[in-house]
A and B are shown apart, each in its own frame.
Chain A
Amino acid sequence: MLTRRQFIQTAAATTAAAQMSPKRIALVVSNYRFLSPGQQLGDRFLVGYPLDGAWHMPDMKVVSVYIDQHAEGDLSAERSAQFGFQVVPTVADAVRSVDAVLIAAEPGSDLFEKCVKVFEQAGRAVPVFYYHNLSTTFDKAKTMVESSRRLRFPLPAGSTLPATFRLPDLELPLGCHIEDALMVGLADFDALEALQCMVERRGHGETGVRAVQLIEGGQVWGRCSRELLTAALSRSDTPLGLTVKDGRTQDLVASGELRKLVPKPVAYCVEYRDGLQATALLLNGAVQDSTFAARVRGTPEIQSTQFLLPPQPNGTDSARLIQKVERMFATRTAPDPVERTLLVSGILESCLRSKAQNGARLQTPHLAVAYRAKG
């Protein structure tokens, strides 16, 4: 094992030598099937992506790809032939001599640990972008973040929602006082992460989470603000039920249709250490998009927006994400604090534990994750 000093010296020397030529990228992905995260994110380094009204080709070269689970329809061999990278049999082969790594793995995989092992052995660590949730457990996610700190490589993570277009283009001011916040989403991690990227801008920064509770069924309706729910849903372009039937607009909350459409709502209730209480709701059956609302002190109107997920197959939200990743690969500076994803990993894990305990409120002293949002 290298000492920390030896490690840093080796890393500095190698980095200086590699600064001139295009960055060499490794893709470490669970698979490279059509519409998989590996394919959609990886391809952007191969064929470019739309950026600010131009087609942008990263000045980076994918040199190696590791596929964790070869499956029917995998496109990596085809891409390898076309773009000249190697599909390699181990993670070590993929990451040993590259400048940056993109990981798009299944939850619970050990691909990241395998990368870290290579970094340790080589005495050189490179930036890693970890797509989506770091881990299904907070402890493991925390170990991942600690590894990145110990070996001094940036490890941003997360999904496309924080990076995507917002309608309207709402960004809460840094330092604002959020009194109440609500996210209506489609999947638990994504909803919690979108919520977190908004509320982390409050006060003196993120302070962590004191307790969580996962509530299901009818009692959900009593737990969230009617005004915030109306505000979030006012941003939806996909109400179901009567809108699908005859095209009409709906005030889903006031009409009572929401309760009819969602027999089993799920609320992920988050109590932050500074007193903010925020909720992520899954309202399957009512809407099919991701919307947010918050009450901010000093602003009379509720602030709300939709996190736009543009249609597939383009999925241009991932172009927005890759823009950040590319910049991070080039500068070794994380676009957003990895603590956001770490905290969300922990909130989600504890919420699922609350669910297993019939919706008990669980104290989460381990989630005292403090950080500051980027400007």
Chain B
Amino acid sequence: MRPKLAAVVTVYRKYSHAQHIVDRFLDGYGWNSAHHHPAMDLVSLYVDQVGADDLSRERAARHPEMKIYPTIAEALTFGAGKLQVDGVVVVGEHGDYPKTEKGQVQYPRFRFFEEITKVYRDGGRSVPMFNDKHLSWNWNWARQMYDVSREMKFAYMAGSSLPVTWRIPSVEMPLGSRISEALCACYGGVDSYDFHGLEAIQCMVERRRSGETGVKWLQAYRGERFWDALREGVWPKPLMDAALCRSHTLTPARAGFTDVFPSVEDMRRLVPDPVAYRYEHNDGLKCTLLLMSGLIRDFNFAAYVDGRREPWSTQMYLPMPDGRTTLANFFSPLVNNMEPMYLTGKPTYPVERTLLTTGLTAAGVDSLYAGQKRIDTPHLAIVYNAPRESTFWRT
């Protein structure tokens, strides 16, 4: 039996996450030397905001097996009052939503979750759910989403493409490694790409010897305080340099050159609004997320592993359709990791990873809002073990 899926999304326009993800169920995607079609049918769709650039109507016309419904409940019940699908894909990214006073976009992932789980409850049946990106901008809601998924015992996956995309070089953190410091140098904004960078770090450090123990505090640094922190050695500069040496997109620091390594002075000139989140796990591991828009346009990870002086590093490669490509193919491994969950009812990797990175993203926002103060995070004592199997794209 091919599972039937419903998709619940904010907007369906070109290059929105919904388009990237839902299209891969409808039209398939390149995988392992073939054009792969998931062994399941996405049969219903709810779109929260339909604008002039909407593509969902074109998709429904081209894929008559997929019906568009005016409410989330109807998308899950086909208007028949009872849950009719075997899985739900939630994409609450992009769209026009108000911001909080802290600057977070209030994407309605919690509302989507509540409406979906109401149908589960009413029908007395729960089915697997995937939530794109972090669970919610609001930590309490995110925690509630996680707790409800556990109470109702449905398979729940979430997160970003970063843990599952290509790595250059193609390496995995050995399970049981001892990691003392980890860092991701990337780009983008707060309450946005910071989440992706945090996921890039977390999918690596969760494989360390102690397993994941949770995070006890976080401090954000922005603007001048970022440069002060760099000078004071708040995070190891050699680790940051190692990450930057995995980048393919270093803005040339000197006119007339195409690829030069930037000095700190160059970085100050090129990065007008740098942001760092520095945080410590309960077992003492320290991690740093660096948002360096203006200097790089990729995601680069580095860590000190097993006591070695030489950093261990790789790039999490995103073929980004911002002029570099036309297809955001990093959504292919994301969908490919969802498919087994809809087929077997078992998540491919733990949602606790994303629960933690959701909390870290919110803590970063909170620290910045509180004047870059250190925030204690006793609520992020999230304990879990990494999956044994690697799930990143390597075939």
Give A contacts to B, CB under 8 Å. Answer: 34-35, 39-40, 43-44, 47-51, 53-55, 75, 78, 165, 167-169, 230-231, 233-240, 243-251, 253-254, 288-289, 293, 301-304, 308, 310-316, 319
Contacts and interface: CB of A to CB of B under 8 A. Distances in A.
A34 B261 contact: no
Interface stretch (B88-96, B130-138, B150-158, B251-259): B251-259
A233 B14 CA distance: 21
B20 A314 contact: no
Given A246-B14, A247-B23, A316-B259, A293 B327 contact: no
A168 B170 CA distance: 8
Interface in B345-376: none
Contacts of B27: 248-251
Interface of B: 14-15, 19-20, 23-24, 27-35, 55, 58, 166, 168-170, 241-242, 245-250, 252, 256-261, 302, 310-314, 317, 319, 321, 324-329, 393-395
A315 B34 contact: no
Quick one: which of A49, A235, A240, A250 has the most chain B CB within 10 A?
Answer: A250
Nearest to B254: A47
Contact of A47 (B32, B34, B246, B260): B260
Residue among A53, A254, A301, A308 with most chain B CB within 10 A: A53
Nearest to A73: B256
Contact of A54 (B28, B245, B317, B321): B245
B327 A239 contact: yes
Given A168-B170, A239-B327, A254 B35 contact: yes
Contact of A304 (B33, B169, B249, B302): B33
Given A312-B258, A314-B259, A302 B33 contact: yes
A246 B58 contact: yes
A301 B245 contact: no
Contacts of A312: 258
Given A40-B258, A53-B313, 10 more contacts: A54-B242, A55-B245, A234-B32, A234-B34, A244-B326, A247-B14, A249-B23, A289-B325, A312-B258, A315-B258
Contact of B248 (A169, A231, A301, A311): A311
A50 B258 CA distance: 12
Residue among B15, B248, B328 with the highest chain A CB neighbour number at 10 A:
B248
Given A234-B31, A235-B30, A243-B327, A53 B311 contact: yes
Contacts of A293: 33
A172 to B, nearest CB: 13
A313 B257 CA distance: 8
B255 to A, nearest CB: 9
A319 B34 contact: no
Contact of A251 (B35, B55, B58, B170): B35
Contacts of A254: 35
Contacts of B313: 53
B14 A55 contact: no
B258 A314 contact: yes
Given A249-B24, A249-B28, A169 B394 contact: yes
Instruction: Please give me the 8 A-B residue pairs with the lowest Cβ-Cβ distance, nearest first.
Output: A234-B30, A251-B35, A231-B33, A53-B313, A310-B248, A313-B258, A237-B319, A237-B325
A311 B33 contact: no
A35 B29 contact: no
Given A75-B256, A168-B170, A237-B319, A301 B32 contact: yes
A260 B189 CA distance: 40
A55 B241 contact: yes
Nearest to B393: A168
Contacts of B169: 165, 169
B261 A55 contact: yes
A311 B249 contact: yes
27 contacts: A34-B258, A44-B259, A50-B247, A50-B259, A53-B314, A54-B242, A55-B241, A167-B166, A167-B317, A168-B166, A168-B170, A168-B393, A169-B169, A234-B30, A234-B31, A239-B327, A245-B14, A247-B15, A247-B19, A248-B19, A248-B23, A249-B23, A251-B35, A253-B35, A288-B326, A312-B258, A319-B259
A235 B36 CA distance: 12
B350 to A, nearest CB: 25
Contacts of B24: 249
B246 A251 contact: no
A40 B258 CA distance: 7
Contact of B250 (A169, A236, A308, A314): A314
Contacts of B247: 50, 314
Contacts of A251: 27-28, 35
B168 A165 contact: yes
A336 to B, nearest CB: 20
A264 B313 CA distance: 43
Contact of A53 (B19, B29, B242, B258): B242
Nearest to B302: A53
A244 B96 CA distance: 23
A58 to B, nearest CB: 14
Nearest to A301: B33
B329 A237 contact: yes
Contact of A50 (B246, B317, B329, B394): B246
A240 B31 CA distance: 18
A39 B254 CA distance: 14
Contacts of B20: 247
B248 A35 contact: no
Contacts of A311: 248-249, 324
Contact of B326 (A234, A237, A313): A237
Most chain A beta-carbon neighbours within 10 Å: one of B170, B241, B261 = B261
B312 to A, nearest CB: 8
Contact of A236 (B23, B30, B34, B252): B30
A40 B256 CA distance: 10
Contacts of B170: 168-169
Given A168-B170, A249-B23, A250-B27, A234 B33 contact: yes
Contacts of A248: 19, 23, 27
Nearest to B27: A249
B29 A249 contact: yes
A243 B258 contact: no
A168 B319 contact: no
Of B166, B257, B393, most A-chain CB atoms within 10 Å = B257
Contacts of B261: 47-48, 50, 55
Contacts of A244: 326
B327 A249 contact: yes
Nearest to B58: A246
